[in-house]
Structure formats: structure tokens, C-alpha cells
Amino acid sequence: MRLRKLDDCRFELPKTGGMRVPGRIFASEAMISKIERERVAEQVANVAHLPGIVGASLAMPDCHWGYGAPVGGVAAMDAKDGVVSPGMVGYDISCGVRLLRSNVTARRVGKAKEALLDELHRTVASGVGKGGGLRVAKPEMRGVFARGARWAVERGFGEPGDLETIEDAGAVDGADPDAVGERAIERGCSQIGTLGSGNHFLELQEVDAIYDAATAAAFGLFEGQFVALIHTGSRGCGYQICTDSLKTMGAAGKRYGISLPDRQLACAPIASAEGRAYLGAMNAGSNFARANRQVITHLLREAAQQALGASGVELGMGVVYDVSHNIAKFERHSVRGVERTLCVHRKGATRAFPAGHPDVPERYRSVGQPVFVPGSMGTFSFVLAGTQTAMLETFGTVCHGAGRMMSRTQAARRIRGDALAEELAARGISVRTDSRRGLAEEAPFAYKDVSEVVEVCVRAGLAAKVARMRPLGVLKG
């Protein structure tokens, strides 16, 4: 695919053949050759064939090859004439990141860090297919699907104030529990409050740099602070919803006369029975993910109180924000100066709304929505804030992490898990995991330089830097 350089961080893929819109990739000069070799531009072009797509088919700087569409891809569809595509949402529906702040410093945590990690390793299940101590009866799953984090808070897993700073106040509208298949329900019953495997984690961190003092203060962050970052999603429940929907969508596309260059982008009109069913099931899976992160938050608070010998009030572990990627949401955006309702697909990309936007929690509305860009276990993580430029160019979207640059198999061939754990320990980063191979697969060198990814977003005006965190310890799947 022939990319045209627009500036130092924007590359355009001209509209050709069946593309309905051009493609646009946000990347540095150093990144773009790797992106081209991975054929990400080809996937960006394929997404541009989707009926009803508006603006451009987009890819964030953490983009890499994915199922049908690139991870880091963004596509906005007209709400009336467009389609919804499970491949453009992803398997791990509503995977997301939650940041917890505290009243205490990382120095105060000190040697208690090891005890805290041990307790988290005991109480927060991690790994492929792992279930946790919380078992939810099948009938109760309807409440999880409908109410998300609100369901968890109502059952004592957290505080009502948590919901004020969670995307959609803890539950996305439009969930249809009846659209979720039996197998997805079964898989979800034992997986609320669990991390899963792959790049999911619970990381203990220290705020080591503040770039914007006023915005950091609004987010409740200060230098030297002890914070925790949670990254997980809808586990086997969301995976099964996607799997079931892809089977339905494949047949539906033929019925509606939709022709695409890649069957992995199987889709159906938003207004169709198949489209409505997928959206209802996807939103249910999204609420499952929110409930999952809420229960983990509760388990983390309990573990921290026990390990540090402090009360909940003394620790003050509040939710800074919780934001999802791998989701399609109905939003109002300006397209060529005209306000339109769009179904914005964000696959491995996260919402980044600016100051003044009504969907930003009231306490942050003067500075913009918090955005989290996690590092790769041994590297920094960043807190950003959304901007108006993102609203105009990317439908209010920015990257969701560093982005893989090496397969899991390649990473595991380069280093053993125990050797990686020793390297991290030598740098003051403690690790807990049940899978040494899984640890090796997530080695920091398997990912892009998160600092460079963030700088591209900042130079492009898609986000503003607020703070940086360094890892102290991590619980990995």
C-alpha cells in the first residue's frame, strides 16, 4: 500500500478501488516502516471498505496486525446507514484500563509491596481460563450484563463514589442480556474479579513525573504517589460473544449484499436484526468488563489495607478513571462541519474527549478526560488528557498502549520467564505470575517504545501529557 506522508506524525493512504474513505495512520518516521512491513496499511484499507464509514479509516501509533482490523484501529459509521463489525471491535470486548490513586507515597508502601503482591496473587486470579473466588449464578448474570460496575457496587464491591469517574457511570446503555449466548454466560459466571492472560495486568506504580500540575491536581495525582493500574476486560464471556456474533455476521453480510476484501470484517447493518443483536450482546459484555474491573478494585483495596496495616480512609484509594477500548459506541461528532450521530468502533484505541465535553465527568470537565497509556511491565506508563484536536481528527480517540512489535512466540524464544523476572527484580520491579512462559511472552522488548508512541500523540495534538508512572510490582496473567 502506498502511504503519503502528510507531516511528521500523519501518513495517508489515498482512497483507491472499493475504499469509501481514505486511510490515515498516526506514526513517527521510525515507526512507519515496521507498520508497513506488518501490512497494517492493508488492514486500514480493508476497513475503509465498510459500508457507511465516514471521515477516514484510522490507526493510532500503537497499531499492529489484528483480526480483520488492526489493533489501534478506529472507524466511525453513520448510525443510520452504516454497519457494525465484531472484527472492528475485537474479541476482548470492553477491555479497558482503570487507574487508582491513593493518599500515600510509594515510599510509605516500601517493603510492604511484597506482602501486597502476595495477597493480590492469592485473591485476584490470573491466567488462561482462570476463575476466581466469586461465583455468580446464571440468573444473576442478567444484572451484571445490565448494570456493570453498578451491579458490583450494589453488592458491596466498592463505593458509590467510584461510579462518578467510570466511563458511562459504570454501565453502558443498550445492553441486552437475552442476546448473550448460553456458553458466554457459563464462561462469565466464574470470571468476575479476574485478570486473565496475555497483556492483562495489575501494576503497582509510583508517579515519578508531573507534566501539567493543574490537570494532575484535578486528577488527584502528585509526584511520589502510590497508584495502581488495572488492565483487563470481559474475559471468556466477551470472547464467546464475539465468536458467536462472527458466525451470525458472516451469513448476514451475504444476505444484505455486503462485499468485503476480508471475511474477518464480517458485518451487518446497524439497523438490522443481526446488527441490533450484536450491539445488545456487545454492550452486555462491556458491562461485564466494567463489573470485572470494579471487583478487582475492591480486592486491591482490601489487600492494600491488610498489607499496609492502614484503614481505607487513610489509604484513600479512589478511582481516577476507567475507560474502555474494544467497543463500538454511539456518539455525536462533527463531520465536515455537520453534527451527526455515529457508531464509533475503537479496537485497541481509547476515547479521549476534551475539556467541556458533556461526557467527561463533571470534576474533570475543565481539563479534559483522563487517558491512560500503559507501558510494558518494565517501562513507564502515562496519564494524558483528551483534546479538541482529537475530536476533530480521530472522533475523540487516542492510543491505548505501547503496541506489540514482536509476536508472543518470538518473545518467548528470546528470553525465559525466570530470567526476565530476575532482570525486573534487579530494577526494583517485583513480579507475580502463574506462567513463566506467559511472562516471557510479555517481555518489554516485545512492545514499541511507549514514550515514542505517546510523543506521536502529543505532537499530533491528540492528547496532552499529564503525568508519568514507573512500575514497582506487577501481577501478570
Distance, CA of 403 to chain centre: 12
**Per-residue pLDDT at 337 exceeds 80:** yes
Whether 400 sits among the annotated catalytic residues: the reply is yes
Confidence of residue 321 (pLDDT cuts 50, 70, 90): very high
- For 81-118, give one letter per residue: b (16+ CB within 10 A) or e: ebbbbbbbbbbbbbbbbbbbbbbbebebbeeebeebbe
**Per-residue pLDDT at 132 exceeds 80:** no
Confidence of residue 377 (pLDDT cuts 50, 70, 90): confident
**Per-residue pLDDT at 62 exceeds 70:** yes
Average pLDDT of the chain, as a whole number: 95
Residues 49, 298, 325, 400: which is the catalytic one? 400
Helical H segments across 309-362, by residue range = 312-315
**Per-residue pLDDT at 1 exceeds 70:** no
What is the predicted pLDDT for the residue at 406?
87
Average pLDDT of span 18-42: 94
To the question of pTM greater than 0.85 for the whole model, the response is yes
Q: What letter does residue 377 receive in the DSSP assignment?
A: S
pLDDT in tens, 213-240: 999 999 999 999 999 999 999 999 999 9
What is the predicted pLDDT for the residue at 200?
93
What is the predicted pLDDT for the residue at 88?
97
CB 109 within 8 A of CB 472: yes
For the record, the C-alpha cell of 24 comes out as 490515515
Q: Residues, the chain, total? A: 477
pLDDT in tens, 79-115: 999 999 999 999 999 999 999 999 999 999 999 999 9
- Domains of the chain (ranges plus CATH)? 4-405+447-476 (3.90.1860.10)
pLDDT in tens, 402-450: 998 888 899 999 999 999 999 999 999 999 998 889 899 999 998 989 9
